[in-house]
Every structure is written in C-alpha cells, then in structure tokens.
C-alpha cells in the first residue's frame, strides 16, 4: 500500500498528514466526538473524528470493531495532561481527515478482550487470537523459537529438517498415530526427532531442529496436547550428561534474556514476570529428591521410578525458596523408565546419565547422554523387547563411528506456558489438537 | 570435552600442543609415515605420525575411516612448498603425540566420497550423509532456511507454528494422507499451511512459517517428494500480487547473498554457482509466455491452462539469455487451475492475480493475492464443488474483517536443489519419503 505509515512509526510524522491502514480495535462515542483505536501489525493508536467533520462522522458512526479501514489523518501531539507514557503512541493522537472502509466485519460473537471459557476460546480462534493477550503470547512464542535457533546457530550447531513420516513405532511406546501410506502400507507420525538427530551427530557433530511431533496420548490435561513443536538439539564429544545440561542452560538463558529485551510490552500486557534463572541451578539425583521429600514432608516416595506431578511441584517450590531458582534439574532416572538409547551410569548401575529440567512445577525438558556403542545399543533394544531389525537404518550410524553424545528435547508450547506462567498449555498452543478437537470439536 | 580445540581454530595454536577429537576421514600410509585426515564438526586437518613414534604407529596402523579418535598433537606450520592455500588448514599440519580410540567403525560399505546410484545413496544415508558433498549441501540448506526466517523477522513478519493434523482434505485435491485419529475419527496431514496463515494475517498482518507438508502424490520423479519443508509467508494490506512478488524477490535476494557470503567453501566443494538474480526479473503473463513460445519455437501451447515442464525449461532459458536472469515470474494462471482462495483479476476475468516463480527450469514458488471478502470466498468454495461447512473455522477470519492480502509457499528442498543446480530433489532432501521408501525401501 503506497505511502502507508506503520502505526509504530507515527511518532516520526508529528504535524504531518499520513495514510494509516488497519483494524478498528475499539470505537468510543463521546458526545459529538468519535474516538477510534486503530490496530495494525505494528501497534495501536488512538484517532479522533472532530465534530466539524460531518461526512467523516457519518462513516465513523457505522464503523465497528474489526472492520478494516484506510485512514487519512494528521498526527498531533497530545496535550500534556492526556499523555499516557505507559503505552505505545500514548503521547500522540490522529486527527482523522478521511476514512475508507476496506472490509466490513460481522458483529462480534463476544468482546474481543473478554475472558471466555477454554472451549469458547478454541472454537473461535480465528477471532480470539486477535485479543491483546493472545497476540502477546504468540509474539513471545515467536521470539522464543527464533532465539532458540539463533543462539544454537551462533554456537555452531547446524539446523536440519527431521522427517515426520516414519516407518515404525520406533520407541515402542505405542502412543503413535498411524498413517495410510501407499500400496496398503502403514506409516507412523514421529513422536520425536531423536533417532534422526543422533544420525546427524555423525554428520555434523552438533545439530538442532525445531520440528512438529505427534503423540497419540488419550489423556486430556492442562499439560498435554497431541501435536506440538519440539525444540531439539544433540551434540557430540561430550564427557557426560552434565555437558548437555550446560549447553541447555546456556540456551535457556539466552532465550530468557532475549525475551526480556524484546517483549517488554508483551510481558506488561500479560502482567507476568519471566522465571528466575540464577548463575547456578540446583542439580539433584532423583533419589536425593525423594529422600528430601521424605525428610521435609514425611511422604515416602523413595524407590518410585519417577516423580509424581505433586512431587515436581514440591521440588520446584523448594528450589525457588532455597536457591532462588525457578529451574531445577533432576538426574539419574532409572534405566527402566528411560528409552533404550539412554546411557547407563557405570558408577551408579541401573540409573541413567539423563535428566529432566523442571520449571515452575513441571518438566519442560528431557535430556541426557546416549549410548554410542553399536553392540551395547543392540543389546538395549533387545532388553526393551524391541526388534533391532526395525532399527537397522538408525544403527548404521553406530556401525560407522559415533562419538559420546547427548542432547535434549523440549516442547515450545509448554516452554511458552511456563515462561509466561499460563494455567493451560492450550493457551500457548496455536490451534491445539486434542482428543476431541481439531480446530472445531469433532462431532460424535 | 575439556581443553579440546576445534579444528577450525587450530591456526591460533601454532607451535603449541592441543587436544583434537573427531573422525578419521582418510588414512594414507607413506612408507614409514602415516598421514591421517581428521574431521570434526568444524573442519578437516591433516595429521602425521612420525617414524620415531613406534607406539603411536602401531595404533595408527589399525585406524580406519570413520573411527572416532582423540589426538594429542603439536600444531606445526607446513613448509612453504607444502602449503595448499585452497583449503582450510592447508598451511598447518598436526604432529601426533598420542592417539586414543574413542569408537571403532565397521569396514565401510564403499568409499565415502565416491558417487553411487541414488538407491544405494539413500539406503546408506546415515553413512553417505558424511560425504564432503552431502555435508556441503545440507550446510547450505541450513543457511537457506535460517536466512529465510531472519530476513522476514527483520521485516516484522511474525513466525507462527502451523498445525499438521487437519480435520479435512481442505483444498479438495485428494493428494492427502489419512491418519487414524481418536474414537474412529479420521484426520489428514496438511498439504500446506495456507488456511492457517491466512487466519494469522488477521492476527499479525504479516506472518511466516517453515513447516512440514505432506503430499500423497503417487508419482516418483526427480522433482517430487511426499514430505517436504514449505517456506511460507503471507502479508496484509497489499495492492495486488505484485506486492507479494516484490517481498518474495527481496527474500530470495537476501538468501542468495547470505549463502554467497557464508558458504564459499561449500560452493567450492560442490563446484557450482548460485543462480543469477538481476535487479529486475522478467514478469510475464502465462498467455504472453505461450505466445512467445509459439512465435519463437512454432509450438502452439496457447490456450493451455498451464505450462508443461518443457515450456518451463524453455522460458527459463530465454530469461537467462535475454535478461541475464535465472528467475522468471509467470502470472495470471486461469481461475480453473488455481485453488478457491485465489483472487480473480477484475481487469482480466477468468485469470488470477497469482504467479509462479521459476528458477533454472522449474517452478520454485507459487504465490499471489487471495480473496479477502467472506461472501466471495464462500461462492468460490461452492464453485469448486467444495462444502463451505468444511471451512467454517477458516471462514471466521473473513467474518471478522480481513484486509487485502497474499503470500507464497516454496519448498526448501527444491530451492536447495535449484540454488545448487543438483539433478534430483532427493539429493537436497534429508531422508526423502517416496512411494516405495521411508528410510529403507518398503518391502513388498
């Protein structure tokens, strides 16, 4: 659109005439004045139609929220006492000299920025995504994933594209969607890029991918969705899982500092603060956490192979109070609870050199060292009751020399949820897929 | 790994002792000397075991390609006449003081850098990806997709995550994979992020996504794969499809210049040059191209709704000879050949404000303006024999005010193929999915 000025740049045009295009965010009639908040991709500005502009008033009276308009206007400085320093363009106002309707809108199903229940929110996403809060959430999400890639690329990790159609339910978890492939064959949707990123370590040593993964899990909770974006990385020539954890924390630190810098307005809109990440975070073995819970609360979960959600919340609260950290790493989950490729600790047999990173009460990352010896890997596949033949493609990487390596995976949506302290992962998921819903509720 | 020096940084350690870790790339025995090329994620360096190091020689004699080793060595400057200025580390050599085998490798199925037929190449990908050429191709690919996102984010496009599981065969093309969803429902794999990125224009005005898409197309050619990464963008408040084309060319120019800058070594390895993109590229209507073909070659394809592959090659050759451009845009494909959401040109009825961008003989991008009026869109859906009810979620965006908008989609793999002038898109696809193959050939 020729000569259009973006709303965030209006300050540079004080006392000039400009062309602005966007959506009507709000219309307020004040006696003979009409105020319009105009929104474009870059921001929001207040505009006013003065009482002497009869023609414009008659058009402006018809305008309703979400109508798309083009406006000719003069950019005025606001009088001192009307300045709102807290918001973009709080010190200017557009005086409207002409309005053209580009696209009309139906009456809204409900007010744009009102809180509605989750099903109504999801049913109306093409509309509800336009609310100030939702726009803020997914703006932050775009910065998280952008910085994730940037910081890893800066540290010489190579991005690769991981396939989604896979030939087997590789990890044998059973939570896998089936796809009708060609010639009556069945394919499966990848539950993680794990096997491919290990192959890629053989190629580039340090790799990452941001890829959609699919989990055919039937539970419907505030923490689970059936399709999500997984932020993965894998690196070679590590000493053990601690090297992986160091790279992960470096990555998260970089994301947090980037979001704090780039998303000040969004954090204000969401009225939230980012999680605290001190220089050193607490790192504890699973059994140490369990002993601590027993000692501090009296509840005996020692010997359990995993932490219950309530235990995850407890240890996070403890880490925050004791170490000022919203993050805590729990290591050494038992071999029985981890996938076949997980590295067993020679000094702590039947426990693994793996970790979960918890943040604000839930696990946000799983990672660790992997087995890099071909024959050991084959043995572990068999021990898990899986067939090495199903893994012959993957196993090639290990036939031809693999260094000690490890990595992590974390869900972008859950990361967004926890960074912004949202109560439901679906609020941090664009178009969440769940058991009864793909965009709309699936009819019975 | 403590104190490890990356191979690309060895120059900073001349006359010092270093620890290097990596793969044996090549072993060459020269009488009493053994030369080893060592490869890590950052580069390759030549190392030598001198005849007086008996212990080391006896280990070095066993080393074979792809074994993983740790090496203690002194970094020596090469004698003047041994310097190879063309390659990384061509002016230094490691004098090996100690070797430790980290991981052995089987005998290779064939030499790593030898050309093999495409099926052998694909069958052995965990190994063949380690060749110098393949590493160069996918390094370039990582830079293409990285710069694609960077340049758009710099121009205020917001990244969003587009869903892959969709509720309907939305565009009615039939080339869609079916997924067994929950409770005996069927879901489908997205053939493009189109409908979602249009919804997102209502939210952010300018958006992009890099997302896997799936095409259940049965043909097996050098140009098609069944799963690929689509580089999509969509922007609001355009005048027409030319604004979209301008943004697209800006994006491609930015990628080409980034790759030229960052991938000099890779382009040398691949012995190729990037396509020529002059300041202005030729833009012609489909019918103009057809008239030109008739006039210049005598072949009459006027009236055809599309270009045949041979015509695409012809017009690309013409554009290169006549305008010095490896790119040519063809606009105004007929309404009948374009999806329902394509904008019809009011001044050229039954033709669309859409384009294909061709590069080096094939289409690499499809784009154009979209319909932004709700009722027009419903009519077009019906005209294509589709059911507006299937689109009710998508249509919400158009009920609530949509500006004139448009965008594009292009396959990362084909883009990589054409930029590097490779003969088969599978050579630019990590783990290509095809009718008879998911990693390995699917058994009958």
Taking phi over 0 as left and psi of -120 to 50 as alpha, with beta for the rest, B230 belongs to beta
Q: Which residues of A touch B375 (CB under 8 A)?
A: none
Name residues 317-356 of chain A within 8 A of B (Cβ). none
**CA proximity to B329, closest of B341, B338, B340, B316:** B316
Q: Which are the contacts of A124, defined by CB distance < 8 A and separation ≥ 6?
A: A109, A116, B396
B146 phi/psi in degrees, rounded to 5: -65, -45
Residue B433 and residue A163: Cβ atoms within 8 Å? yes
Chain B residue numbers touching A373 (CB-CB < 8 A): 103
Radius of gyration of chain B (CA): 27
Other Cβ atoms closer than 10 A to B119: 11
Per-residue pLDDT of B292-310, as tens digits, reads 999 999 999 999 999 999 9
Q: Do B158 and A139 touch (CB under 8 A)?
A: yes
CB distance B130 to B90 below 8 Å:
no
Which residues of chain A fall short of a pLDDT of 50?
444
| Token pair of B55 as six digits | 């212990």
- Cα separation of A21 and B206, whole Å? 13
**Is A1 part of the contact surface with chain B (CB cutoff 8 Å)?**
yes
SS3 B188: strand
CB contact under 8 A, A105 and B237: no
C-alpha span between B95 and B38 (Å, rounded): 12
| Sequence-distant (≥ 6) Cβ neighbours of residue A246 within 8 angstroms | none
Q: What pLDDT does residue A221 have?
A: 80
Class of residue B254 by CB neighbours under 10 A (exposed 0-12, middle 13-18, buried 19+): middle
A116 with A93: CB under 8 angstroms?
no
B435/A212 CB distance under 8 A: no
- Is B166:B196 a contact under the CB 8 Å cutoff? no
Calpha distance B210→B205 (Å, rounded): 17
Looking at residues B339-366, what average pLDDT do you find? 97
**A153 close contact with B: CB closer than 8 A:** yes
Q: What is the pLDDT of residues B243-290, one digit of tens each?
A: 999 999 999 999 999 999 999 999 999 999 999 999 999 999 999 999
Indicate the pairing of strand B283-285 with strand B227-236. Answer: unpaired
Can you say whether the dihedral through the CA atoms of B167, B173, B177, B178 is positive or negative? Answer: positive
Which one, of A419, A433, A411, lies nearest residue A136 by Cα? A419
CB contact under 8 A, A130 and B400: yes
- B439: contact with A, CB 8 A cutoff: yes
Identify from A64, A214, A403 which residue to disrupt to test chain B contact, counting B C-beta atoms within 10 A and taking the largest count. Answer: A403
Question: Is B430 close to A161, i.e. CB distance below 8 A?
Answer: yes
Percentage of the residues of chain B whose pLDDT score is greater than 90 = 91
pLDDT, position A444: 40
pLDDT at B147 over 80: yes
Residues within 8 A of B (CB atoms), A 58-117 only: 66-68, 102-106, 108
pLDDT at B88: 86
B13 contacts chain A (CB < 8 A): no
Q: State whether A42 and B436 contact (CB < 8 Å).
A: no
Minimum CA–CA partner of B152 in chain A: A146
Could you tell me if B131 lies within 8 Å of chain A, comparing CB atoms? no
Which of B209, B370, B438 is the best residue to mutate to test the A interface, defined by the most A CB atoms within 10 Å of its own CB?
B438
Q: Residue length, chain A?
A: 444
Contact: A393, B226; criterion CB under 8 Å: no
Interface touch A67/B399, C-beta < 8 Å: no
| Residues constituting chain B | 444
What residue spans of A162-263 are helical by DSSP H? 194-204, 241-262
Phi, psi of B23 (to 5 degrees): -100, 145
Cα of A440 to nearest chain B Cα, Å: 7
CA–CA gap between residue A167 and residue A165 (Å, rounded): 7
A105 vs B contacts (CB less than 8 Å): 399-401
pLDDT tens, residue by residue, B82-141? 999 888 899 999 999 999 999 999 999 999 999 999 999 999 999 999 999 999 999 999
The residues, ordered by sequence, that sit 6+ positions from B81 with a Cβ below 8 Å of its Cβ are none
Phi/psi of residue A213, each to 5°? -125, 160
| Closest alpha carbon to A131 in A30, A224, A44, A48 | A44
**ipTM rounded to 2 decimals:** 0.96
- Dist. CA B86–CA B265, nearest whole Å: 9
Cα A191 from Cα A177, distance rounded (Å): 9
Residue A406 β-bridge partners: A235, A369
Residues of B whose CB is below 8 A from A371: none
Do residues A126 and B393 touch, judged by C-beta distance below 8 A?
Answer: yes
- What is the per-residue pLDDT for A262? 97
Q: Looking at the partner chain, which of B129, B156, B226 has a beta carbon nearest the beta carbon of A42?
A: B156
Nearest to A23 among B127, B178, B401 (CB): B401
A173 or B205, higher pLDDT: B205
Q: What is the mean pLDDT of residues B183-202?
A: 95
Check: CB of residue B178 under 8 Å from CB of residue B188.
yes
On chain B, the residues whose CB falls within 8 A of the CB of A106 are: 399-400
Task: Please indicate whether, in this complex, the C-beta atoms of B125 and A205 are within 8 angstroms of each other.
Answer: no
**What's the rounded Cα separation, in Å, for the pair A289 and B117?**
55
| All domains of chain B in start order, with CATH | 7-103 (2.40.50.140), 120-441 (3.30.930.10)
Q: Do A438 and B164 contact (CB within 8 A), yes or no?
A: no
pTM of the model: 0.97
B14-53 pLDDT, tens digit per residue, is: 999 999 999 999 999 998 899 999 999 999 999 999 999 9
Between the two ends of chain B, the Cα-to-Cα distance in Å is 46
Instruction: Determine contact: B156 vs chain A, CB below 8 A.
Output: yes
CB-CB neighbors (< 8 A) of B167 in chain A: 438-440, 442
Chains A, B: CB contacts within 8 A come to: 273
A433-434, strands of its sheet edge to edge: A433-434, A437-438, A440-441
Per-residue model confidence (pLDDT) at position B210: 98
Q: How far is residue A333 from each of residues A191, A291, A298, A304, B84, measured CA to CA in Å?
A: 21, 14, 22, 10, 51
H or E stretch covering B268: helix B264-270
Q: With an 8 Å Cβ cutoff, are A239 and B2 in contact?
A: yes
Distance CA A371, CA A346 (A): 12
pLDDT bin (cut points 50, 70, 90) of residue B221 is confident
Shortest CA gap B38–chain A (Å): 13
Contact A138 B436 (CB under 8 A): no
How many C-beta atoms surround the C-beta of residue B118 within 10 A? 13
Average pLDDT over residues B350-354: 97
User: Is B146 in Cβ contact with A433 (below 8 Å)?
Assistant: no
Quick one: pLDDT at residue B444? 39
Closest CA to A392 of B108, B110, B118, B124: B124
Candidate from A41, A105, A187 with C-beta closest to B206: A41
pLDDT tens per residue, range B44-84:
999 999 999 999 999 999 999 999 999 999 999 999 999 99
Out of A135, A141, A164, name the one closest to residue B164 (CB). Answer: A164
Q: What is the pLDDT of residue A441?
A: 79
Q: A202 CB near a chain B CB, below 8 Å?
A: yes
Taking alpha carbons only, the member of A137, A142, A143 closest to residue A266 is: A137
Distance CA A127, CA B399 (A): 9
Taking CB atoms and an 8 Å limit, are A41 and B204 in contact across chains?
yes
For residues B248 and B242, what is the distance between their CA atoms, to the nearest angstrom? 10
CB A311 within 8 A of CB A291: no
Residue owning tokens 């609260």: A317
Contacts of B405 in chain A (CB under 8 A): none
Instruction: Determine whether the interchain pair B229/A401 forms a contact, defined as Cβ–Cβ distance below 8 Å.
Output: no
Residues in CB range of B344: below 8 A, 6 or more apart: B335, B350, B351, B352, B353
Q: Give the closest-approach CA distance of B153 to chain A in angstroms.
A: 9
Q: Measured between CB atoms, does A403 come within 8 Å of chain B?
A: yes
Residue A196: its chain B contacts at CB < 8 A? 430-431
Residue B270, token pair as written in the block: 């691949």
Residue A242 in contact with partner chain B when CB distance is under 8 A: no
Say if the Cβ atoms of B68 and A199 lie within 8 Å. Answer: no
Q: What is the pLDDT of residue A318?
A: 98
Report the alpha-carbon distance of residue B284 to residue A295 in Å, rounded: 77
């Amino acid at each position: 659109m020729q000569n259009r000025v973006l709303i965030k740049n209006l300050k540079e045009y004080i006392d000039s005439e400009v062309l602005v295009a966007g959506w009507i965010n709000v219309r307020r009639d004040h006696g003979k004045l009409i105020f319009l908040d105009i929104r474009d991709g870059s921001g929001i500005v207040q505009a006013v139609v003065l009482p002497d502009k009869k023609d414009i008033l008659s058009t402006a009276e018809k305008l309703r929220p979400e109508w798309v308009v083009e406006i000719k206007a003069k950019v005025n400085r606001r009088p001192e006492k009307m300045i709102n320093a807290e918001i973009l363009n709080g010190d200017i106002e557009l005086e409207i000299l002409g309005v053209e309707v580009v696209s009309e809108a139906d009456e809204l199903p409900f007010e744009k920025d009102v809180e509605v229940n989750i099903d109504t929110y999801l049913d109306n996403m093409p509309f509800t995504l336009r609310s100030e809060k939702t726009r803020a959430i997914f703006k932050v999400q775009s910065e998280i994933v952008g910085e994730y890639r940037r910081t890893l690329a800066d540290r010489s990790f190579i991005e690769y594209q991981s396939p989604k159609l896979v030939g087997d339910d590789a990890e044998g978890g059973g939570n896998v969607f089936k796809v009708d492939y060609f010639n009556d064959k069945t394919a499966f949707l990848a539950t993680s890029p794990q096997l491919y990123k290990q192959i890629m370590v053989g190629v580039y040593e340090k790799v990452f991918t941001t890829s959609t993964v699919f989990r055919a899990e039937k539970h419907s909770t505030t923490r689970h969705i059936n399709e999500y974006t997984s932020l993965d990385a894998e690196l070679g020539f590590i000493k053990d899982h601690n090297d992986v954890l160091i790279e992960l924390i470096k990555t998260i630190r970089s994301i947090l500092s980037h979001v704090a810098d780039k998303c000040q307005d969004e954090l204000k809109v969401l009225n939230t603060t980012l999680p605290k990440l001190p220089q050193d975070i607490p790192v504890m073995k699973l059994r140490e956490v369990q002993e601590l819970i027993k000692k501090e609360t009296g509840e005996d979960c020692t010997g359990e192979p995993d932490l219950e959600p309530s235990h995850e919340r407890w240890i996070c609260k403890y880490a925050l109070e004791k170490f000022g950290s919203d993050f805590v790493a729990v290591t050494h989950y038992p071999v029985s609870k981890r996938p076949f490729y997980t590295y067993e600790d020679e000094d702590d047999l039947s426990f693994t050199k793996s970790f979960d990173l918890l943040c604000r009460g839930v696990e946000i990352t799983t990672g660790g060292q992997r087995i890099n010896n071909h024959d050991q890997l084959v043995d572990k596949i068999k021990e898990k009751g899986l067939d090495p033949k199903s893994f012959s493609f993957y196993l090639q990487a290990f036939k031809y020399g693999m260094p000690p390596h490890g990595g992590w995976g974390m869900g972008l949506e859950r990361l967004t949820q926890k960074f912004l302290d949202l109560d439901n992962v679906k609020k941090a998921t664009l178009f969440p897929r769940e058991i009864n819903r793909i965009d709309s509720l699936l009819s019975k």
